[in-house]
Structure 1
Amino acid sequence: MRNLNLDQYLSSSFPSLELKTPLFYNFDIGLRFEMSEEGIKEQVYNRAYTLINELCIPTDELFIIIFLDSWDDYPPEEEEQVIASFQRYANAHVKHVNIDRKKVPYRYSGLYDNDSRTFRYSLQCKVNEVDMEGLLIASANQSFDLEPLLKGDLFILNCSKDIVFHLYDYRGMDIVSKSRDTLISVFTEYNHWLLDFDKDRMNSIYWFN
Protein backbone atom coordinates (compact mmCIF):
# COMPACT_ATOMS: atom_id res chain seq x y z
CA MET A 1 0.00 0.00 0.00
CA ARG A 2 3.00 2.32 0.08
CA ASN A 3 2.48 5.49 -1.98
CA LEU A 4 -1.27 5.15 -1.70
CA ASN A 5 -3.13 8.29 -2.71
CA LEU A 6 -5.15 9.63 0.22
CA ASP A 7 -8.04 11.02 -1.82
CA GLN A 8 -8.32 7.82 -3.85
CA TYR A 9 -8.30 5.74 -0.68
CA LEU A 10 -11.04 7.83 0.94
CA SER A 11 -13.12 7.78 -2.23
CA SER A 12 -12.96 3.99 -2.51
CA SER A 13 -13.10 2.98 1.17
CA PHE A 14 -15.12 5.78 2.81
CA PRO A 15 -16.96 7.54 -0.05
CA SER A 16 -19.61 9.11 2.19
CA LEU A 17 -17.41 9.98 5.17
CA GLU A 18 -16.43 13.55 6.00
CA LEU A 19 -13.35 13.88 8.17
CA LYS A 20 -14.75 16.35 10.64
CA THR A 21 -16.29 16.53 14.09
CA PRO A 22 -18.42 14.69 15.10
CA LEU A 23 -16.93 11.71 13.24
CA PHE A 24 -19.17 9.24 15.09
CA TYR A 25 -22.31 10.79 13.55
CA ASN A 26 -20.77 10.98 10.07
CA PHE A 27 -20.71 7.23 9.43
CA ASP A 28 -22.97 4.24 10.00
CA ILE A 29 -20.51 2.04 11.91
CA GLY A 30 -18.65 3.57 14.80
CA LEU A 31 -17.95 3.85 18.49
CA ARG A 32 -17.60 6.84 20.80
CA PHE A 33 -15.39 6.41 23.82
CA GLU A 34 -15.21 8.63 26.87
CA MET A 35 -11.59 9.58 27.51
CA SER A 36 -11.99 11.24 30.89
CA GLU A 37 -15.06 12.38 32.78
CA GLU A 38 -13.07 14.74 34.97
CA GLY A 39 -10.42 15.90 32.51
CA ILE A 40 -7.58 13.82 33.97
CA LYS A 41 -4.86 14.06 31.34
CA GLU A 42 -3.12 10.78 32.19
CA GLN A 43 -6.42 8.96 31.74
CA VAL A 44 -6.93 10.58 28.34
CA TYR A 45 -3.42 9.61 27.20
CA ASN A 46 -3.82 6.03 28.40
CA ARG A 47 -7.25 5.37 26.94
CA ALA A 48 -6.46 6.85 23.53
CA TYR A 49 -3.22 4.87 23.21
CA THR A 50 -4.83 1.67 24.50
CA LEU A 51 -7.63 1.77 21.93
CA ILE A 52 -5.31 2.37 19.00
CA ASN A 53 -2.94 -0.37 20.19
CA GLU A 54 -5.87 -2.76 20.44
CA LEU A 55 -6.89 -2.23 16.82
CA CYS A 56 -3.54 -1.71 15.07
CA ILE A 57 -0.50 -3.89 14.54
CA PRO A 58 3.01 -2.54 13.85
CA THR A 59 2.93 -3.18 10.09
CA ASP A 60 -0.46 -1.57 9.41
CA GLU A 61 -0.37 1.29 6.90
CA LEU A 62 -1.56 4.66 8.18
CA PHE A 63 -2.32 8.15 7.05
CA ILE A 64 -1.67 10.75 9.75
CA ILE A 65 -3.84 13.74 8.85
CA ILE A 66 -4.02 17.19 10.40
CA PHE A 67 -6.49 19.89 9.35
CA LEU A 68 -5.80 23.57 9.98
CA ASP A 69 -8.31 26.30 9.23
CA SER A 70 -7.41 29.66 7.72
CA TRP A 71 -9.35 32.76 6.80
CA ASP A 72 -7.39 33.68 3.68
CA ASP A 73 -5.56 31.90 0.86
CA TYR A 74 -2.34 31.54 2.82
CA PRO A 75 -1.41 28.64 5.10
CA PRO A 76 -2.17 29.36 8.75
CA GLU A 77 0.53 30.45 11.17
CA GLU A 78 0.54 27.01 12.78
CA GLU A 79 1.82 25.31 9.61
CA GLU A 80 5.45 25.29 10.76
CA GLN A 81 4.40 23.71 14.03
CA VAL A 82 2.45 21.00 12.19
CA ILE A 83 5.40 20.20 9.93
CA ALA A 84 7.69 20.07 12.95
CA SER A 85 5.28 17.68 14.68
CA PHE A 86 5.34 15.28 11.74
CA GLN A 87 9.11 15.37 11.85
CA ARG A 88 9.18 14.91 15.61
CA TYR A 89 6.90 11.90 15.79
CA ALA A 90 7.93 10.08 12.60
CA ASN A 91 11.00 7.89 12.80
CA ALA A 92 14.09 8.29 10.66
CA HIS A 93 12.78 5.94 7.97
CA VAL A 94 9.94 8.25 6.96
CA LYS A 95 11.24 11.69 7.96
CA HIS A 96 12.60 12.23 4.45
CA VAL A 97 9.17 11.64 2.92
CA ASN A 98 7.43 14.77 1.74
CA ILE A 99 4.44 15.81 3.78
CA ASP A 100 1.48 16.35 1.52
CA ARG A 101 -0.27 19.70 1.86
CA LYS A 102 -3.54 20.38 0.12
CA LYS A 103 -6.03 23.22 0.30
CA VAL A 104 -9.49 21.72 0.73
CA PRO A 105 -12.97 23.21 1.15
CA TYR A 106 -13.81 24.49 4.60
CA ARG A 107 -15.40 21.52 6.37
CA TYR A 108 -18.01 23.47 8.36
CA SER A 109 -19.73 25.50 5.67
CA GLY A 110 -22.21 28.07 6.89
CA LEU A 111 -20.42 28.83 10.16
CA TYR A 112 -18.16 31.55 8.78
CA ASP A 113 -17.86 33.69 5.68
CA ASN A 114 -16.61 32.64 2.27
CA ASP A 115 -13.01 33.49 3.13
CA SER A 116 -12.70 30.35 5.26
CA ARG A 117 -10.17 27.81 4.00
CA THR A 118 -8.81 24.54 5.32
CA PHE A 119 -5.36 23.10 4.76
CA ARG A 120 -4.91 19.36 5.03
CA TYR A 121 -1.51 17.92 5.92
CA SER A 122 -0.91 14.20 5.61
CA LEU A 123 1.87 11.68 5.98
CA GLN A 124 1.74 8.02 5.03
CA CYS A 125 3.60 5.63 7.32
CA LYS A 126 3.35 2.35 9.16
CA VAL A 127 2.33 2.11 12.80
CA ASN A 128 5.90 1.19 13.77
CA GLU A 129 7.26 4.25 11.97
CA VAL A 130 5.54 6.80 14.20
CA ASP A 131 5.64 7.58 17.92
CA MET A 132 1.91 7.03 18.34
CA GLU A 133 1.86 7.63 22.08
CA GLY A 134 3.71 10.94 21.71
CA LEU A 135 1.44 12.03 18.86
CA LEU A 136 -1.71 11.33 20.87
CA ILE A 137 -0.35 13.10 23.95
CA ALA A 138 0.48 16.19 21.89
CA SER A 139 -2.98 16.20 20.31
CA ALA A 140 -4.74 15.75 23.65
CA ASN A 141 -2.66 18.57 25.11
CA GLN A 142 -4.66 21.06 23.07
CA SER A 143 -7.34 20.61 25.73
CA PHE A 144 -4.89 21.19 28.57
CA ASP A 145 -2.75 23.94 27.00
CA LEU A 146 0.37 21.91 27.77
CA GLU A 147 3.56 21.18 25.86
CA PRO A 148 4.26 19.27 23.73
CA LEU A 149 1.22 20.51 21.86
CA LEU A 150 -0.07 19.60 18.42
CA LYS A 151 -2.42 22.19 16.96
CA GLY A 152 -5.07 21.25 14.45
CA ASP A 153 -7.63 18.53 13.97
CA LEU A 154 -5.91 15.12 14.01
CA PHE A 155 -7.27 12.03 12.25
CA ILE A 156 -5.50 8.70 12.07
CA LEU A 157 -6.51 6.40 9.19
CA ASN A 158 -5.57 2.75 9.31
CA CYS A 159 -5.67 1.81 5.62
CA SER A 160 -4.87 -1.84 6.28
CA LYS A 161 -8.00 -2.32 8.37
CA ASP A 162 -10.18 0.56 7.15
CA ILE A 163 -10.48 2.31 10.52
CA VAL A 164 -10.52 6.03 11.28
CA PHE A 165 -9.61 7.41 14.73
CA HIS A 166 -10.36 10.92 15.94
CA LEU A 167 -9.45 12.13 19.44
CA TYR A 168 -11.66 15.21 19.32
CA ASP A 169 -10.67 16.58 22.75
CA TYR A 170 -10.07 15.40 26.33
CA ARG A 171 -13.65 14.17 26.55
CA GLY A 172 -13.72 11.56 23.84
CA MET A 173 -12.45 9.59 20.88
CA ASP A 174 -14.53 8.54 17.87
CA ILE A 175 -13.63 5.40 15.92
CA VAL A 176 -15.38 4.39 12.69
CA SER A 177 -14.84 1.42 10.42
CA LYS A 178 -16.17 -0.12 7.21
CA SER A 179 -16.85 -3.37 9.06
CA ARG A 180 -18.80 -3.89 12.25
CA ASP A 181 -16.60 -6.92 13.04
CA THR A 182 -13.43 -4.82 13.01
CA LEU A 183 -14.47 -2.94 16.15
CA ILE A 184 -16.17 -5.75 18.05
CA SER A 185 -13.09 -6.43 20.19
CA VAL A 186 -12.94 -2.90 21.63
CA PHE A 187 -16.72 -2.71 21.89
CA THR A 188 -16.64 -5.79 24.11
CA GLU A 189 -13.38 -5.27 26.01
CA TYR A 190 -13.83 -1.55 26.70
CA ASN A 191 -17.60 -1.35 26.87
CA HIS A 192 -17.33 0.47 30.20
CA TRP A 193 -15.51 3.31 28.40
CA LEU A 194 -18.28 3.90 25.87
CA LEU A 195 -19.98 7.28 26.16
CA ASP A 196 -23.30 6.74 27.92
CA PHE A 197 -25.08 9.40 25.88
CA ASP A 198 -24.60 7.43 22.63
CA LYS A 199 -24.84 3.88 23.99
CA ASP A 200 -28.27 3.17 22.54
CA ARG A 201 -27.00 3.85 19.03
CA MET A 202 -23.86 1.77 19.58
CA ASN A 203 -25.83 -1.10 21.08
CA SER A 204 -28.11 -1.12 18.05
CA ILE A 205 -25.08 -1.41 15.77
CA TYR A 206 -23.66 -4.33 17.71
CA TRP A 207 -26.94 -6.04 18.69
CA PHE A 208 -25.88 -5.80 22.31
CA ASN A 209 -28.37 -5.73 25.16
Structure 2
Amino acid sequence: MINFLSQFMKEHFDNLTLKPPLFYSWEYGIRFEISIPWVEHEDKSNLQQIEERINSIFNKVFSDGDEMLLITDIHCERNDSFLQKRPTKVYQKYIKDKELRLKLQYRMLPSVFEDYEEIVTHRFVLPCKKSDIRYKPLLTAISYEDFPHPSQILKGFPRNGIDIYFVNVTRKMIYHLYDDRGCDVIASNKEDLRSLYEDLNDWILDYDQEQIDQLFK
Protein backbone atom coordinates (compact mmCIF):
# COMPACT_ATOMS: atom_id res chain seq x y z
CA MET A 1 0.00 0.00 0.00
CA ILE A 2 2.96 2.31 0.59
CA ASN A 3 4.04 1.50 -2.96
CA PHE A 4 0.48 2.30 -4.09
CA LEU A 5 0.77 5.69 -2.38
CA SER A 6 4.00 6.42 -4.26
CA GLN A 7 2.39 5.48 -7.56
CA PHE A 8 -0.72 7.52 -6.72
CA MET A 9 1.36 10.62 -5.99
CA LYS A 10 3.37 10.08 -9.16
CA GLU A 11 0.31 9.70 -11.41
CA HIS A 12 -1.95 12.35 -9.94
CA PHE A 13 0.31 14.84 -8.17
CA ASP A 14 3.42 14.89 -10.36
CA ASN A 15 5.45 12.96 -7.77
CA LEU A 16 4.80 15.57 -5.08
CA THR A 17 6.49 14.78 -1.76
CA LEU A 18 3.84 14.37 0.90
CA LYS A 19 4.89 16.96 3.45
CA PRO A 20 3.62 20.31 4.75
CA PRO A 21 2.82 22.89 3.61
CA LEU A 22 0.78 21.21 0.88
CA PHE A 23 -0.91 24.45 -0.18
CA TYR A 24 2.40 26.06 -1.14
CA SER A 25 3.70 22.91 -2.81
CA TRP A 26 0.90 22.27 -5.31
CA GLU A 27 -0.87 24.46 -7.87
CA TYR A 28 -4.44 23.42 -7.01
CA GLY A 29 -5.21 23.98 -3.36
CA ILE A 30 -7.13 25.92 -0.74
CA ARG A 31 -5.89 26.95 2.69
CA PHE A 32 -8.62 27.36 5.29
CA GLU A 33 -8.43 29.26 8.56
CA ILE A 34 -9.65 27.01 11.37
CA SER A 35 -9.32 28.72 14.74
CA ILE A 36 -10.15 32.33 15.65
CA PRO A 37 -6.94 34.41 15.55
CA TRP A 38 -5.74 35.93 18.83
CA VAL A 39 -8.29 33.99 20.88
CA GLU A 40 -7.35 31.46 23.56
CA HIS A 41 -7.61 27.92 22.24
CA GLU A 42 -9.96 26.85 25.04
CA ASP A 43 -12.37 29.73 24.45
CA LYS A 44 -15.80 28.18 23.91
CA SER A 45 -16.50 30.08 20.69
CA ASN A 46 -13.10 29.08 19.33
CA LEU A 47 -13.62 25.40 20.09
CA GLN A 48 -17.04 25.55 18.41
CA GLN A 49 -15.56 27.13 15.30
CA ILE A 50 -12.73 24.61 15.15
CA GLU A 51 -15.14 21.68 15.39
CA GLU A 52 -17.51 23.10 12.80
CA ARG A 53 -14.82 23.87 10.26
CA ILE A 54 -12.66 20.77 10.50
CA ASN A 55 -15.67 18.48 10.17
CA SER A 56 -17.50 20.48 7.51
CA ILE A 57 -14.44 20.60 5.26
CA PHE A 58 -13.78 16.91 5.83
CA ASN A 59 -17.35 15.97 4.93
CA LYS A 60 -17.17 17.96 1.71
CA VAL A 61 -13.93 16.26 0.67
CA PHE A 62 -14.98 12.70 1.54
CA SER A 63 -18.16 10.84 0.66
CA ASP A 64 -19.11 7.56 2.28
CA GLY A 65 -18.15 5.39 -0.69
CA ASP A 66 -14.78 6.98 -1.45
CA GLU A 67 -11.65 4.87 -1.21
CA MET A 68 -9.20 6.48 1.21
CA LEU A 69 -5.73 6.24 2.66
CA LEU A 70 -5.16 7.29 6.26
CA ILE A 71 -1.51 8.26 6.52
CA THR A 72 0.40 9.04 9.70
CA ASP A 73 3.93 10.44 9.56
CA ILE A 74 5.91 10.58 12.80
CA HIS A 75 9.09 12.65 12.61
CA CYS A 76 11.76 11.90 15.19
CA GLU A 77 15.41 11.06 15.70
CA ARG A 78 16.47 7.72 14.33
CA ASN A 79 17.01 6.15 17.75
CA ASP A 80 13.89 7.64 19.37
CA SER A 81 11.88 5.16 21.48
CA PHE A 82 8.44 6.58 20.66
CA LEU A 83 7.35 3.69 18.44
CA GLN A 84 8.39 1.10 21.01
CA LYS A 85 6.36 2.81 23.72
CA ARG A 86 3.30 3.82 21.73
CA PRO A 87 3.11 1.97 18.39
CA THR A 88 0.48 3.09 15.87
CA LYS A 89 -1.73 4.66 18.53
CA VAL A 90 -3.66 6.54 15.85
CA TYR A 91 -4.91 3.31 14.31
CA GLN A 92 -5.58 1.51 17.59
CA LYS A 93 -7.73 4.36 18.84
CA TYR A 94 -9.43 5.74 15.74
CA ILE A 95 -9.96 2.75 13.42
CA LYS A 96 -13.09 0.85 14.40
CA ASP A 97 -12.34 -2.58 12.92
CA LYS A 98 -9.46 -4.59 14.40
CA GLU A 99 -9.30 -6.75 11.27
CA LEU A 100 -8.85 -3.69 9.08
CA ARG A 101 -5.86 -2.63 11.17
CA LEU A 102 -4.06 -5.75 9.97
CA LYS A 103 -3.76 -4.04 6.56
CA LEU A 104 -1.66 -1.27 8.07
CA GLN A 105 1.71 -0.86 6.35
CA TYR A 106 4.81 0.79 7.73
CA ARG A 107 8.04 2.13 6.34
CA MET A 108 10.83 4.21 7.80
CA LEU A 109 11.88 6.96 5.40
CA PRO A 110 14.58 9.60 5.40
CA SER A 111 13.11 12.79 6.78
CA VAL A 112 10.60 14.32 4.35
CA PHE A 113 12.06 17.68 5.37
CA GLU A 114 15.30 18.87 3.82
CA ASP A 115 18.47 19.40 5.85
CA TYR A 116 17.46 17.14 8.74
CA GLU A 117 19.81 14.20 8.31
CA GLU A 118 19.48 13.09 11.94
CA ILE A 119 15.66 12.89 11.63
CA VAL A 120 13.63 10.08 10.05
CA THR A 121 9.97 9.86 9.10
CA HIS A 122 8.01 6.80 10.24
CA ARG A 123 5.15 6.44 7.76
CA PHE A 124 2.03 4.36 8.37
CA VAL A 125 -0.53 3.85 5.60
CA LEU A 126 -3.95 2.22 5.90
CA PRO A 127 -6.52 1.78 3.10
CA CYS A 128 -10.00 2.48 4.44
CA LYS A 129 -13.26 4.33 4.01
CA LYS A 130 -14.76 7.23 5.89
CA SER A 131 -17.03 4.94 7.91
CA ASP A 132 -13.98 3.00 9.18
CA ILE A 133 -12.53 6.04 10.94
CA ARG A 134 -13.62 7.75 14.12
CA TYR A 135 -12.71 10.88 12.25
CA LYS A 136 -14.40 13.48 14.45
CA PRO A 137 -12.36 12.69 17.59
CA LEU A 138 -9.26 12.16 15.45
CA LEU A 139 -9.58 15.61 13.90
CA THR A 140 -10.18 17.08 17.34
CA ALA A 141 -7.03 15.35 18.60
CA ILE A 142 -5.02 16.86 15.75
CA SER A 143 -6.36 20.32 16.60
CA TYR A 144 -5.20 19.85 20.20
CA GLU A 145 -1.71 18.59 19.36
CA ASP A 146 0.02 21.82 20.43
CA PHE A 147 -1.91 22.09 23.71
CA PRO A 148 -2.00 20.04 26.93
CA HIS A 149 -4.96 17.74 26.45
CA PRO A 150 -5.71 14.01 27.04
CA SER A 151 -6.16 13.45 23.29
CA GLN A 152 -2.64 14.60 22.39
CA ILE A 153 -1.19 11.95 20.10
CA LEU A 154 2.46 12.69 20.91
CA LYS A 155 1.83 13.39 24.58
CA GLY A 156 5.11 13.12 26.48
CA PHE A 157 7.23 13.34 23.33
CA PRO A 158 7.49 17.11 22.72
CA ARG A 159 10.54 16.86 20.45
CA ASN A 160 8.71 14.72 17.91
CA GLY A 161 6.40 15.88 15.16
CA ILE A 162 3.37 14.34 13.51
CA ASP A 163 1.41 14.86 10.31
CA ILE A 164 -1.79 13.01 9.48
CA TYR A 165 -3.08 13.02 5.92
CA PHE A 166 -6.44 11.85 4.62
CA VAL A 167 -6.08 10.93 0.96
CA ASN A 168 -9.20 10.57 -1.17
CA VAL A 169 -8.09 7.99 -3.72
CA THR A 170 -11.41 8.14 -5.56
CA ARG A 171 -11.53 11.91 -6.02
CA LYS A 172 -7.74 12.50 -6.07
CA MET A 173 -7.80 14.96 -3.17
CA ILE A 174 -5.76 15.31 0.02
CA TYR A 175 -6.93 16.81 3.33
CA HIS A 176 -4.29 17.93 5.81
CA LEU A 177 -5.27 19.58 9.08
CA TYR A 178 -1.79 20.79 10.00
CA ASP A 179 -2.79 22.13 13.42
CA ASP A 180 -5.55 24.14 15.08
CA ARG A 181 -4.76 27.17 12.92
CA GLY A 182 -5.38 25.82 9.45
CA CYS A 183 -6.22 23.09 6.99
CA ASP A 184 -4.95 22.50 3.45
CA VAL A 185 -6.94 20.72 0.77
CA ILE A 186 -5.29 19.99 -2.56
CA ALA A 187 -6.62 18.20 -5.63
CA SER A 188 -5.26 16.74 -8.83
CA ASN A 189 -7.97 18.61 -10.76
CA LYS A 190 -8.77 22.23 -9.94
CA GLU A 191 -12.50 21.77 -10.61
CA ASP A 192 -12.78 19.24 -7.79
CA LEU A 193 -12.05 22.13 -5.41
CA ARG A 194 -14.58 24.56 -6.84
CA SER A 195 -17.48 23.61 -4.55
CA LEU A 196 -15.20 24.03 -1.53
CA TYR A 197 -14.12 27.42 -2.83
CA GLU A 198 -17.67 28.59 -3.46
CA ASP A 199 -19.40 27.10 -0.43
CA LEU A 200 -16.74 27.80 2.20
CA ASN A 201 -15.19 30.96 0.79
CA ASP A 202 -15.59 32.86 4.05
CA TRP A 203 -13.29 30.36 5.76
CA ILE A 204 -10.35 30.85 3.40
CA LEU A 205 -7.26 32.28 5.10
CA ASP A 206 -7.12 36.01 4.36
CA TYR A 207 -3.39 35.90 3.64
CA ASP A 208 -3.92 33.50 0.72
CA GLN A 209 -7.35 34.72 -0.45
CA GLU A 210 -6.09 36.68 -3.44
CA GLN A 211 -3.98 33.80 -4.74
CA ILE A 212 -6.89 31.38 -4.36
CA ASP A 213 -9.33 33.79 -6.02
CA GLN A 214 -7.00 34.00 -9.01
CA LEU A 215 -7.01 30.22 -9.30
CA PHE A 216 -10.79 30.05 -9.69
CA LYS A 217 -11.34 33.06 -11.97
In 2, Cα distance between the equivalents of 1:204 and 1:82?
43
Alignment correspondent of 2:158: none
Decide whether the 8 Å contact of 1:70 with 1:76 is kept in 2: no
Alignment correspondent of 2:142: 139
Alignment correspondent of 2:159: none
Decide whether the 8 Å contact of 2:69 with 2:127 is kept in 1: yes
Decide whether the 8 Å contact of 1:32 with 1:195 is kept in 2: yes
Equivalent residue of 1:133, what SS? helix
Alignment correspondent of 2:74: 68
Cα displacement string for residues 67-96 of structure 1 (whole angstroms, at most 9, x for unaligned residues): 111222x46515654512212211226544
Quote how far apart the aligned CAs of 1:128 are.
1.3
The aligned length equals 203
In 1, Cα distance between the equivalents of 2:187 and 2:64?
19
Alignment correspondent of 2:207: 197
Percent of pairs with identical residues: 25
Q: After the TM superposition, which residues 11-160 of structure 1 pair with which residues of structure 2 at under 5 Å, given as runs?
A: 11-37=10-36, 38=39, 39=41, 40-72=46-78, 74=79, 76-78=81-83, 81=86, 83-92=88-97, 94-110=99-115, 112=116, 114-151=117-154, 152-160=162-170
Q: Do structure 1's residue 174 and structure 2's residue 184 form an aligned pair?
A: yes
Decide whether the 8 Å contact of 1:62 with 1:124 is kept in 2: yes
- What 5-or-longer segments of structure 2 have no aligned partner? 155-161
Cα displacement string for residues 131-187 of structure 1 (whole angstroms, at most 9, x for unaligned residues): 111211111110222121223211110001000111111110000001111111111
Cα displacement string for residues 39-58 of structure 1 (whole angstroms, at most 9, x for unaligned residues): 42332222111101012111
Quote how far apart the aligned CAs of 1:4 are.
8.0
Decide whether the 8 Å contact of 2:30 with 2:212 is kept in 1: yes
In 1, Cα distance between the equivalents of 2:29 and 2:87?
28
Q: Give the TM-score normalised by the residue count of structure 2.
A: 0.85
In 2, Cα distance between the equivalents of 1:115 and 1:64?
26
- What 5-or-longer segments of structure 1 have no aligned partner? none
Quote how far apart the aligned CAs of 1:101 are.
1.0
Alignment correspondent of 2:193: 183
Decide whether the 8 Å contact of 1:61 with 1:125 is kept in 2: yes
In 1, Cα distance between the equivalents of 2:215 and 2:140?
30
Decide whether the 8 Å contact of 1:70 with 1:116 is kept in 2: yes
Cα RMSD, aligned residues only: 2.1
Quote how far apart the aligned CAs of 1:194 are.
0.2
> CA separation of 1:78/1:146 partners in 2, compared to 1, >3 Å: closer, same or farther?
farther
Q: Give the TM-score normalised by the residue count of structure 1.
A: 0.88
Decide whether the 8 Å contact of 1:29 with 1:179 is kept in 2: yes
